[in-house]
Amino acid sequence: MNDYFKSLQIDSSALTAEEIQIINDWDQKHKHGERSISLRSVETQEEFNAFYAENKSLLRNICILWEDEESNYAGICTDGIMRGKIMFVCHEFLLYPIPVFRNIETFLKAVDSQRISDLFPPQLEFLSPENNPFDYPSIHRSSEELNQDILIAENLWKEAISAKDDNRVNLLFSFIQIASPNQISCLQKYLSDAELLYYILCAYKFYGYQEDPDILLRIGKENKQYRKLLKELGASPKKLLWIEKW
């Protein structure tokens, strides 16, 4: 049987034997290019190597294996509290790798059933909680899954408090993805962070979290671009004739 990892000289030492077997089996079943999501190929290796070299520090614990037609990537987290999670990386929209599927099995099931057709990160503002193809974020989790995710989110939060710069933001994006509905309130601490603000508001919308309306009004006063979303979350600016007063 062909070994996908040897053909592309991919280091598989951090993967389990089961993960390697699943990937090799999947490679045998699907020709590259027959669908919009496929395993990385020799033809795109040079482009991937350049991307990886530029972002090595953020991708160091991810074995990137899949790509889509827009050069977005997905891979398996190989270390730490998120070991085994499937991470999406979109270099145009959001560089930070974020957990999107619980494991390789649920990811490949979503690909094979065509529930997903690209590796673009979930768009929380427009994602329906009831019609959601992703494992993260999700309102539908078993008690066992929820308990696991609460523990992971707690650890991500603790790490983020002491982390700096890109590493801190990376951890918080992962927290937003995995956190339980009851943990979302913690994000109020970072509403003043311009890089995180939009994603926190989208998480509020997805989970139906009710933030203090006065806080939402203050955000709207300084961030006109989010006023429509803020009103959906419960902000009620006063009106003077037809002019809204934030």
Closest CA to 54 of 166, 177, 160, 193: 166
3-state secondary structure of 162: helix
pTM of the model as a whole = 0.92
The domain locations on the chain are 1-121
User: Can you give the C-alpha Rg of the chain in angstroms?
Assistant: 20
pLDDT in tens, 45-56: 999 999 999 888
Note the residue count of the chain: 246
pLDDT in tens, 185-244: 999 999 999 999 999 999 999 999 999 999 999 999 999 999 999 999 999 998 887 788
Taking 60 as the threshold, does the pLDDT of residue 175 lie above it? yes
pLDDT in tens, 153-172: 999 999 999 998 888 999 99
Q: Which residues contact 102 (CB under 8 A, 6 or more apart)?
A: 84, 85, 86, 135, 136, 145
Task: Determine whether 199 is exposed, middle or buried from the number of CB atoms within 10 Å of its CB (0-12, 13-18, 19+).
Answer: buried
Task: Determine whether 167 is exposed, middle or buried from the number of CB atoms within 10 Å of its CB (0-12, 13-18, 19+).
Answer: middle
CA distance 19 to 85: 12
State both tokens at 12: 């598989």
| Ramachandran category for residue 80: left, alpha or beta (phi over 0 → left; psi -120 to 50 → alpha) | left
Closest CA to 186 of 221, 205, 158: 158
Q: Are 237 and 217 in contact (CB under 8 A)?
A: yes
State both tokens at 15: 């993967």
State both tokens at 115: 């529930």
In order of 47, 188, 241, the CA distances from 217 in angstroms are 44, 14, 19
Confidence of residue 1 (pLDDT cuts 50, 70, 90): low
CA distance 76 to 35: 20
DSSP assigned state of 59: H
CA distance 39 to 28: 11
